[in-house]
Structure 1
Amino acid sequence: MMRIRKELLVLTYVSIGTTLFFFLFINEEKSFRAFYLTFAISSMYSFFIGLGNHFVNELLNKKFPWSEATTKRAVLSIISLLVVNFLLVYVCNYINFVVFQKSATPEEFFSGKYNFTNWFMLNITLLISAFLHAKGFMDELKKTSKKEVVEQKLIAKSANAQFESLKNQLDPHFLFNSLNVLSSLIDENPVQAQKFTASMSKIYRYVLEQKDKELVTVEDEIEFAKIYCDLLKTRFEDSVNFEFHVDKEYLKKFVVPLSLQLLLENCIKHNLATSSKPLLIRIFTEADTLCIENNLQIREQIKESAGIGLANIVQRYSLLTKKNVFIEKSEDYFKVKLPILNDKPNAISTIVSDDDAIYERAKKRVKEIKGFYGNLISYCVVIPFLVVLNLITSPKNLWFYWPMLGWGIGVASHGLSVFAIGINWEEKKIREILEKENRNHGK
């Protein structure tokens, strides 16, 4: 309601302004009747055309918002500008010349006598309507940019908190399991317990160093896994065997840290391991994945698992990359495939800092669009002035076509360079920029 009142107030001011202009500088008759007639005609044009475009724009905003269907909305806006304004101009001109001024009969009006007047008025109306549609787009763009930047920051902070929570599970989880192993060894083999303690200190140092990283090289993770396997071998001796077959080409690529340690723990925890039936655990590379496989010797679970290991790895990968962790299970073996990443992706912990860069790109995008609409607004203001000046000073020599055409081509080219209607935008509108960043980081 407030917006409609504002529109009506603006249209009233426009009506008064155009009335004063035509009455003071164009009309030869300076009488109250002439002023009243000029005001009625100006108000008719202003309110008919202004409100007509307003309601069409509002209807398109509800059905095809700029932020959700930009290309379709642009096409529909152009079509609506032409159709609606053509009808409005002809209706207004008919009422003006046939009803108010009585300077033409209906037959004369439709005979072609007023074609130039209709065409001239239509061009002026289209320029003003284009300005109104551009203003509506800018208003929605500002609201969308503010909303999306706030949402992106909230998403980034939430994702970062989630990732930190997952990483923080590793420290107490590893310590708890290691102390359980040590407790068992103290009773079974005190000498081995001492060796285990020394190895545990080295491993725990690695845990402390790597747990705050999103990714580590395959080489580092394999070296850690070998040390951890030695630690397990200390306890289980011949009951557990390990094999490593990792291609050198993958050593400098990346995986989630401590993933092998968690999966090794799962292998031990969920399977029986005895000297007569040893558990074989193989770690190898296969088609851009780091695999850990064990023969199935399912042990009966006394209590329900906490579910930290595999679930933790799956969640951390899902926050870092679109690639999935694959799980294969048969009657004979259980295999987990960890994606090997060629490069470090823009991980969750960098989203918060990258969010400022995203916002800067968004601001740059807004600046480009504002530059285009500044050009369009200037065109809408200057060209009508040149048309009026031309018709007043030399109506027989119509030179305004040239600046209108030349500048119009320039505005159209500027619009295509900014929006690239018909193909993808260079960075698309702000909503798409931010959603793309969110998809890249959140999958």
Structure 2
Amino acid sequence: MNRKSFIIVLWISFFIGTFTFIFFTGDKTVSVYFINLFIAVLYALTISAGNGMINDYLSRHYSWVEETRTRAILGIVATVLVNVVLILFCNYTNLVLFQKMEFTGFFSGTMGFANWFGINIALLISAVLHAKGFIEEWKKSTRKEIVEQKLIAKSANAQFESLKNQLDPHFLFNSLNVLSALIDENPSQAQHFTAAMSKIYRYVLEQKDKELVTIEEELDFAKTYCELLKTRFEDSVNFEFSINEDNRKLFVVPLSLQLLLENCIKHNFATAQKPLNIKIYANNGFLFIENNLQQREQMKESAGIGLANIVQRYSLLTKQNVFIEKSTDFFRVKIPILTQKITAMTPQPSEESLAYDRAFKRVKELKGFYGNLISYCLVIPFLIFINLKTVPEYQWFWWPMLGWGIGVASHALQVFGIGRDWEEKQIRKIMEKEKQSNN
């Protein structure tokens, strides 16, 4: 117990002791007043210290966030056992040692009722403290998760911007290399290439800041780019496009086809006798870029931009992977086709929102359960008191106590029991199916 908690307990003891002295004590003397204060401190310190130790021990070994059900069940069991022992100890000290009552009647009559009533009050206070601890722990965890998600989002955004900024110089460098080769080989074609390159570069500037573009836009750009490649390589390179209309409205990362086409040209030789055949087609949710393998014997070390850029950009947008397949005859790259237009940061806020919704729902469930438990602990002792004071020969309080008790137990099973695990598993299955269908 820290200093602040100790001071709060002393103030509570002071008010309780003063209240009982004023309204429930017949002998108004200073000594009796201090006895009342001592008894109040005895109960308050014993109960608060005992429950605080149990709560701290369980919180160190069982997390409210990660092991909610285990923490709640052990908390309930430990709280009941500890509070029964603490109340019996306090009542024995107060009633038997100070008030000199006979121990033979400790578990019956007035002292028996005092034990029962004290245990219920202690359990009520403990339930409130445990609920407060759970809410504070969950809030702390939620705030931490929000901060982490914001940091992840900022990092991912910076990484995505860095990847997109690679596209401008990369395209310009490769285009100038092609233009340089054409100037020597075919000056008139070089002039045509320069005019076409300005049109293509305009597309690069327009699309590079987007997270996704339609396959139709990307195909139109790729066909124009392929015409420029045909200008240089003529019959040495052949292109085949096979994309149906349904897939044309779906999405891929921008400039992915251009980077992959460059990759094919860069890593393979092409001659009129052995042309390089490049196929672009869609199948089973993927866009395929495939070429017959005619790998160059000597290659300069790659700058690591083309294919690596696409892989990294997809990793920031979706959990679907980019697949690379290579054999002795062909080289194939499969990039995922996405069914909805998203932004790079969409996964982060959605996870944050889902985490908050789960926390809010969980807190609401536990708040309802603890409210039910607190009401039970308050009302039932009151009904027992009324029953024993009015018609002690007929103990009707057992019926509401048992009936309501079964309801509280059912509520606890619903919040912490097997049914919740089954429900969460079904929710996860449905979410995974929806995610797979969307992608």
Number of aligned residue pairs: give it: 427
**Residue 333 (structure 1) aligned with residue 327 (structure 2):** no
1:162 pairs, out of 133, 143, 159, with: 159
Q: CA deviation at 1:162?
A: 0.6
Structure 2 counterpart SS, 1:344: coil
Residue 192 of structure 2 corresponds to which residue in structure 1?
195
Residues in 1 aligned to 2:26 and 2:360: alpha-carbon distance in whole angstroms: 47
Residue 250 of structure 1 corresponds to which residue in structure 2?
247
Residues in 2 aligned to 1:409 and 1:207: alpha-carbon distance in whole angstroms: 69
Evaluate the alpha carbon distance shift between residue 239 and residue 371 of structure 1 in structure 2; reply closer, same or farther with a 3 A threshold.
closer
1:173 pairs, out of 170, 174, 182, with: 170
Q: 1:411-430 counterparts in 2 under 5 A? A: 422-423=419-420
Q: 1:27-426 counterparts in 2 under 5 A? A: 27-105=25-103, 107-110=104-107, 114-345=111-342, 347-350=343-346, 354=349, 358=352, 362=356, 369=363, 373=367, 384=378, 395-396=389-390, 422-423=419-420
Residue 5 of structure 2 corresponds to which residue in structure 1?
7
Moved more, 91-100 or 284-293: 91-100
Residues in 1 aligned to 2:77 and 2:376: alpha-carbon distance in whole angstroms: 24
Residue 19 of structure 2 corresponds to which residue in structure 1?
21
Q: CA deviation at 1:209?
A: 1.4
Residues in 1 aligned to 2:271 and 2:83: alpha-carbon distance in whole angstroms: 87
Residues in 1 aligned to 2:413 and 2:108: alpha-carbon distance in whole angstroms: 39
Residue pair 1:328, 1:335 contacting (<8 A) in 2 also: yes
Structure 1 letter corresponding to 2:335: L
Structure 2 letter corresponding to 1:262: L
Q: CA deviation at 1:55?
A: 1.0
Q: CA deviation at 1:305?
A: 0.4
1:327-380 CA deviation, whole Å, 9 max, x = no partner? 1111111100011111224x324568x48x956984996599489759967995
Moved more, 146-155 or 368-377: 368-377
Q: CA deviation at 1:95?
A: 2.5
Q: CA deviation at 1:418?
A: 9.0
Residues in 2 aligned to 1:408 and 1:389: alpha-carbon distance in whole angstroms: 14
Structure 2 letter corresponding to 1:7: S
Structure 2 letter corresponding to 1:164: E
Evaluate the alpha carbon distance shift between residue 291 and residue 62 of structure 1 in structure 2; reply closer, same or farther with a 3 A threshold.
same
Residue 430 of structure 1 corresponds to which residue in structure 2?
none
Evaluate the alpha carbon distance shift between residue 276 and residue 52 of structure 1 in structure 2; reply closer, same or farther with a 3 A threshold.
same
1:41-71 CA deviation, whole Å, 9 max, x = no partner? 2222111111111111111111112222222
Structure 1 counterpart SS, 2:420: coil
Q: CA deviation at 1:216?
A: 1.1
Residue pair 1:239, 1:278 contacting (<8 A) in 2 also: yes
Q: CA deviation at 1:188?
A: 0.8
Q: How high is the TM-score relative to the length of structure 1?
A: 0.83
Moved more, 407-416 or 195-204: 407-416
Structure 2 counterpart SS, 1:284: strand
Q: CA deviation at 1:94?
A: 2.5
Residues in 1 aligned to 2:383 and 2:213: alpha-carbon distance in whole angstroms: 71
1:207-242 CA deviation, whole Å, 9 max, x = no partner? 111111111111111221111111111101111111
1:302-338 CA deviation, whole Å, 9 max, x = no partner? 4210010111111111100011001111111110001
Residue pair 2:62, 2:70 contacting (<8 A) in 1 also: yes
Residues in 2 aligned to 1:212 and 1:417: alpha-carbon distance in whole angstroms: 49
Moved more, 57-66 or 399-408: 399-408
Evaluate the alpha carbon distance shift between residue 348 and residue 4 of structure 1 in structure 2; reply closer, same or farther with a 3 A threshold.
same
Evaluate the alpha carbon distance shift between residue 288 and residue 370 of structure 1 in structure 2; reply closer, same or farther with a 3 A threshold.
closer
Q: CA deviation at 1:285?
A: 1.1
Residue pair 1:270, 1:301 contacting (<8 A) in 2 also: no
Structure 2 unaligned regions, length at least 5:
425-431
Structure 1 unaligned regions, length at least 5:
428-435
Q: CA deviation at 1:414?
A: 9.5
1:79-133 CA deviation, whole Å, 9 max, x = no partner? 222222222222222222222322122x432578744332221111111001111
Residue pair 2:55, 2:130 contacting (<8 A) in 1 also: yes
Residues in 2 aligned to 1:189 and 1:396: alpha-carbon distance in whole angstroms: 113
Evaluate the alpha carbon distance shift between residue 29 and residue 389 of structure 1 in structure 2; reply closer, same or farther with a 3 A threshold.
farther
Residue pair 1:281, 1:295 contacting (<8 A) in 2 also: yes
Structure 1 letter corresponding to 2:76: I
Residue pair 1:420, 1:426 contacting (<8 A) in 2 also: no
Structure 2 counterpart SS, 1:316: helix
Residue pair 1:419, 1:425 contacting (<8 A) in 2 also: no
Structure 1 letter corresponding to 2:336: P
Evaluate the alpha carbon distance shift between residue 280 and residue 314 of structure 1 in structure 2; reply closer, same or farther with a 3 A threshold.
same
Structure 2 counterpart SS, 1:52: helix
Evaluate the alpha carbon distance shift between residue 360 and residue 222 of structure 1 in structure 2; reply closer, same or farther with a 3 A threshold.
closer
Q: CA deviation at 1:426?
A: 10
Residue pair 2:138, 2:359 contacting (<8 A) in 1 also: no
Q: CA deviation at 1:11?
A: 1.3
Q: CA deviation at 1:74?
A: 2.1
Structure 2 letter corresponding to 1:209: E
For the aligned residue pairs, the C-alpha RMSD in angstroms reads 3.8
Residues in 1 aligned to 2:352 and 2:412: alpha-carbon distance in whole angstroms: 23
Structure 1 counterpart SS, 2:106: helix
Structure 2 letter corresponding to 1:337: K
Structure 1 letter corresponding to 2:328: E
Q: CA deviation at 1:203?
A: 1.4
Moved more, 408-417 or 42-51: 408-417
